[in-house]
Amino acid sequence: MKIAVIYKSHYGTTKQYAEWIAEALDAKLLERSSVKSEDISDYDLVIFGGGLYASGILGINLVTKNPPKELILFTVGLANPEETDYSKILDKNLPAELRDQVKVFHFRGGIDYKKLNIVHRGMMAVMKKMTIGNKDYTQLNNEERAFIDTYGKEVDFTKQNDITPLIDYIKNHIDR
C-alpha cells in the first residue's frame, strides 16, 4: 500500500507529528505546498495533518476538494484533545459527505509567543480578551484556564507516543 503523509504547519508542531507518523509507517512525507491535487491519486492512503488556527484546519482544501481513495485526518492545536469538542471545527472544514468517511485524530501542539507573526500575535491577544472578558479565573473552564496559563509563554505539548492510536488504527483497519 502506498501511503503519503501530507502536512501544513506554521510553527512546526504539525510537521513534527507528520514526521513521526511517516517514519512509523514508512510513508512518503510531503509538505502541503509541494503537492498538487492530481498527485493525491498516486496514493492508496493519504494521512493529512493541519494545524488549527481560528477554527480552520491549515491546508485542508487539498483533500476536501479532491478527496483521496482513503483519507485519515489529524489536527494539531494548543488545546488538550481529551477536553475539547472539535465537532464545530470539523463541521466547518469537512464537507458533509466526507465527515462520516474520514477517521480523525487530534494531537496537542505547542506555542512560542516570541515566534508568532504579528497577525497570530494579534489573534491571540483578541482571544485572550474574549476568553477572560469579565470572568474571574475560577469561572473559566479547563480549556480557557490552559489558554490563560500558557499565554505569552513557550510551551510544547508534543509527544511521539500520542500518534500510537493513529498508527494502531491503520494497522488494524486499513488493508496493507
Same domain for 42 and 123, yes or no, is: no
**Three cell numbers at 110?**
505547542
Query: Which pLDDT tens digit goes with each residue over 136-169?
Result: 888 887 777 877 888 888 899 999 999 999 999 9
Q: Which of 46-60, 72-86, 127-141 has the lowest mean pLDDT?
A: 127-141
SS (H, E, C) 29-56: EEEHHHCCHHHHHHCCEEEEEEEEECCE
Q: Please list the residues that pair with 71 across neighbouring strands.
A: 46
- Residues 41 and 23: their CA atoms lie apart, in Å, by 21
Q: Which domain covers residue 122, as residue numbers?
A: 112-156
Same domain for 17 and 65, yes or no, is: yes
56-57/45-53 β-pairing: antiparallel
- Residues 47 and 70: their CA atoms lie apart, in Å, by 8
Same domain for 147 and 168, yes or no, is: no
- What is the number of structural domains in the chain? 2
The yes-or-no verdict on residue 175 having pLDDT over 70 is no
User: What are the Cα distances from residue 114, in Å, to 151, 153, 155?
Assistant: 11, 8, 11
Same domain for 134 and 69, yes or no, is: no
Same domain for 141 and 57, yes or no, is: no
On the CB side of 22, how many CA atoms lie within 13 Å of its CA?
18
**Three cell numbers at 20?**
513521526
- Of 94, 79, 57, whose CA–CA distance to 131 is shortest? 79
CATH number at residue 97: 3.40.50.360
pLDDT at 49: 98
Radius of gyration for the alpha carbons in the chain, expressed in angstroms and rounded: 17
